[in-house]
Amino acid sequence: MEKVKENISVALYNFTNSMDKNNRGIHIGCYSIATIGLALALRKVRPFSKFKKPSDIPNMFIKEKRELTGLVDRIDPKGPLLMIQHKPLIDIRVFTTGQLPVKISGVNVSGLGVSWLQSVLSAKEVKFVPVVKGKDFVECQVYLTQLKKINRKQGKAPREVQEIINIGENMVKIGFAVPVPIEKPLTEDVGYLKYYAQLQNAEKYALRKKLGLKYYIKPTKTVLVGLYAGTLNLAGKSISLLNRWPKIYVS
Domain locations along the chain: 1-45, 54-214
pLDDT averaged over every residue in the chain: 78
- Convert the pLDDT of each residue in 39-86 to its tens digit: 444 444 445 688 999 999 999 999 999 999 999 999 999 889 999 999
The amino acid at 138: V
pLDDT at 192 over 50: yes
Residue 79: the pLDDT is: 85
Rg (CA), the chain: 34
Pair 202, 172: CB distance under 8 Å: yes
pLDDT in tens, 102-133: 999 999 999 999 999 999 999 999 999 999 99
Contacts of residue 230, Cβ cutoff 8 Å, sequence gap at least 6: none
What per-residue confidence (pLDDT) applies to 42? 41
pLDDT tens figures, 166-182? 999 999 999 999 999 99
Using the predicted structure, report yes or no on whether residue 216 has a pLDDT greater than 70. no
Pick the CATH number of 54-214 from 2.40.50.90, 2.130.10.10, 3.40.50.300, 3.30.1330.20: 2.40.50.90
